Amino acid sequence: MSRKYFGTDGIRGHVGQFPITPDFMLKLGWAAGMAFRKQGKCRILIGKDTRISGYMFESALEAGLSAAGADVMLLGPMPTPAIAYLTRTFQAEAGIVISASHNPHYDNGIKFFSGSGTKLPDEVELMIEELLDQPMTVVESAQLGKVSRINDAAGRYIEFCKSSVPTSTSFAGLKLVIDCAHGATYKVAPSVFRELGAQVSTLAVQPNGLNINDNCGSTHVEALQAEVLAQQADLGIAFDGDGDRVLMVDHAGVVVDGDELLFIIARDLQERGKLQGGVVGTLMSNLGLELALAELGIPFSRAKVGDRYVMADLQERDWQLGGENSGHVVCFQHTTTGDAIIAALQVLLALRRNGQSLAEARQALRKCPQVLINVRFVGGADPLEHPAVKDACARVTERMAGRGRVLLRKSGTEPLVRVMVEGEDGAQVRGYAEELAKVVTEVCA
């Protein structure tokens, strides 16, 4: 069955435009409460990032859940993976995240976690969608859900993150700059690294509801690059607004993306005999990652783009490590979803064990030139099915003669067509990508 509301990463859109409206969130809270009720009652956690609309949607969801008889536990601003973790530890039926991840403040969205801290099964999402189309009811007054607040949520998650590295771990002598994107990691991330001994300077840790992801964080690393150089830091760490993506900057100001972080973690696990199976990437993962892992004898699989598909492939193969070049990194040996802080800790641990700088550790992965151009479209016919787009892709693929890749796909979170070309010659790759983007733009006009 096709979904009416849920996309690849929950429900997301522009605040004030359906379905990202207070009345829809009220109904969504009720539908979720009805779907998760067991034996007449259930417990559901709600966390959010720092965007201003989170207050409004938190209240609406809370009311809907209570009307369905669900007890609600409020976490306040917390990273998305923290909500997955706390949903498990409090033995709740579900966790709800109010966030639009790396998007600007004027977007928002809803993501759900199951009681085990994983993405919802398809059948549960479909059940919620069916309930959304039914009239809303209210349980008897004596059965209404109660609401409480978890005051020690941040401390619990900080200790969980620290538990992902050996108790003897110390990052003393390591000078870090951390960019929290004015988002959900602004309190917990600096504390984690400081408590493990690192010297930490921070950027973008003053959220005001409107500045989340605004020229900061993992989608805008320029300020972090400049600060790492100015402070002569060992490296910089950039999180996104909800704390499930991480990129790094080495001491020379060079950006280290998710593919390179995955490689550093995988190689370290293999050297210690702790790598279970191989690594899952996506269709967007750089060809250089695949080749570098092959040199180490590490299997590699490509999933569709989106962390839910990476995690599904990991579960199917019984592997533990996967991710995306955007910075989603999943370490299943430690947690149930992509976790930026835990991924960053695994990278620092690998560097410390091997006595390497970040710049040195990434050298074994020789990335192929890859150009990504985003083309905006407003709906209507699928541009990827247009004959002109198909013909252009075929022409470019033929010219590359097996020495590169072409990938066009629609974003699961924004109204964009992503045009990606990868190959050996950077100038040639750029030309091909611009050629394809022009065709897509004409079709979308």
Helix, strand, coil percentages (3-state) for the chain, rounded to 5, are 40, 25, 40
Q: Which of 282, 331, 320, 325 is nearest to 298 (CA)?
A: 320
* Alpha carbon distances (Å) from 187 to 79, 111, 145, 279: 10, 21, 30, 31
Amino acid, res. 381: A
* 199-203 and 235-239 beta bridge pairing: unpaired
* 321-323 and 279-282 beta bridge pairing: parallel
Name the catalytic one among 53, 66, 99, 101: 101
113 - beta bridge partners?
Answer: 95, 119
Residues constituting the chain: 445
Burial of residue 201 (number of CB atoms within 10 Å: 0-12, 13-18, 19+): middle
The phi, psi pair for 423, rounded to 5°, reads: -170, -165
Strand order in the sheet with 255-256: 199-203, 175-179, 235-239, 246-250, 255-256
199 - beta bridge partners?
Answer: 175
Any catalytic annotation for residue 99? no
Tokens representing 18 are: 């359906």
The phi, psi pair for 45, rounded to 5°, reads: -90, 145
Q: For residues 254 and 260, is the Cβ–Cβ distance under 8 A?
A: no
Which residue do the tokens 């702790």 mark? 274
Instruction: Enumerate the active-site residues.
Output: 101
